[in-house]
Each structure stands twice: as C-alpha cells, then as structure tokens.
Homo-oligomer: A and B are copies of this chain.
Amino acid sequence: MNEQTRLSWTDVRDEIRARILSRAYAPGDKLPRDEDIAQELGCARSTVHRAMQDLSQIGLVERKRKGGTHVRADPVTRATFDIPITRREVEQRGSIYSCQLISRTVEQTPLPIMARFGITHPAEMLRVKALHLADNRPYIFEDRWIDVGSMPEILDVDFSLESANEWLVHNKPYSRLDVRFSAMNAEGESARYLDTPTGSALFVIERTTWIGAEPITTVQAVAAPGYQLVAQN
C-alpha cells in the first residue's frame, strides 16, 4: 500500500468531514478558503472544490460566493430511501412475487386526488387497485389513479400481465415527484386485502408524479403489518 499517492476529492471530503465530526470545525464555524485547505492538504483547489460540493449536497456545510464555507449550524439527519418496483423489492427479499388485479375503473377524480395532483378541475382518470403478494401472502395494497388524457394507450394495457406499477415505471417517466410516508389504521379494503384485523397499524407510501405540470399518476401504497423502510447508507 503506497501512502504517497495523491489525494482524491473523496479523500479530501472524508478528511473535512472527519474534522467536522470531531468538532475541529464546529457547527456554525467558517472553514478556511478552498485554496488554503488545498495548500494545507497538498492538492489543487479544484479537488477541494469537488469535495466541498459533495459536503454541501450532503447537507454538512453551506457555501456562499465570497461568503465562504460554513459548517451547518443545525445539522439535519439526511437519509436517502430507494423505493424500487414492488416486484424487485419482493424478489430481493428472496420471496416469490405475484400480483392480483382487484379493480379497474374510469372515475372522476374526487377532491383529495385533485389536491394531490394540484389540479383545480376534476378529470376522468383510470383507477386501478391491485394487491402485490410475496410468497402468496399480501404484501402491498395499492390504490392508483392514472391520467388517461396524456396516455390513452394505458386503456389497452392488460394489468393482469404486468402491474400498473411496472408498466408505468417502464413506459412513463416523470419529471416531478412527491413522496410522503405516514401511518394509518387498517380498515375496509386495506384490512380485507392485506388480511389483517381492522385497526392494525399500516405503513403508507404516497407517491405522485408529473411531467412538467401534467399529472401522470398517484398511488397510495399500503404495506402489510411489519413493513419497514430502511435508509441507504
């Protein structure tokens, strides 16, 4: 192992991060100029700059032109979650995936759905309810609304072959995304399809996508009891 190699920007990032963590640079402190850090560590300014960009994205420091770099005063815990296609999620747990189409209707969007999309006038949308299973046990129940105006093809898709989840991911990209997590008590459909007593606490993922300002789809995915979402890193 040759220690005498040059510093990469990730090395610099880790060094600065270590200093922040050890309070060598405390919250609120102003860091030296990129150039001075570069000189101290024996690398180029661009290397320090790249490191700082990363630290800034992570949320550890804040940078301002001329103002310099500061350690964020009130650190936030920033966690990243990957929400894969349900099929993949199930398969990665080593289970066998299957999916049941429950219903498929064309309905006028009610107010709560309009609110999710941020639209002011109701629209005719395709509503698809489906149950994802892992090893034939209920895993996630999803209630989805799909805008048909922008993709009439959707009406011809056979969701018993490919779930709406998958079809959309593979065929319809989005440019804007809203994700939110919450908890709700099992009741009615969710209890019935997830095969759990009314009142069980269920984890809910709500996802809405647009292309530009145009609605694509919104889903409420309710997971069976015991579901846990773990952050990356």
Residue ranges of A at the interface with B (Cβ–Cβ < 8 Å): 20-23, 27, 59, 74-85, 88, 169-170, 173-175, 177-185, 199-204, 207, 211, 225-231, 233
Which residue of B22, B76, B178 is within 8 Å of A82 (Cβ)?
Answer: B76
Smallest CB-CB separation from A73: which chain B residue? B170
Q: Copy number of this protein in the oligomer?
A: 2
Contact B21 A173, beta carbon cutoff 8 Å: yes
Contact A183 B170, beta carbon cutoff 8 Å: no
Interchain CA distance A178-B228 in the complex, whole Å: 13
Closest CB-CB distance, A168 to chain B, in whole Å?
Answer: 10
Q: What B residues does A185 contact at CB under 8 A?
A: 185, 199-201
Q: What B residues does A202 contact at CB under 8 A?
A: 183, 201
Interchain CA distance A202-B184 in the complex, whole Å: 7
Known: A183-B183, A184-B201. 20 other contacts (CB 8 A): A21-B174, A21-B175, A74-B84, A76-B83, A77-B84, A77-B207, A79-B80, A79-B81, A79-B179, A177-B231, A179-B231, A180-B228, A181-B203, A181-B228, A182-B203, A182-B227, A182-B229, A183-B202, A200-B201, A201-B202
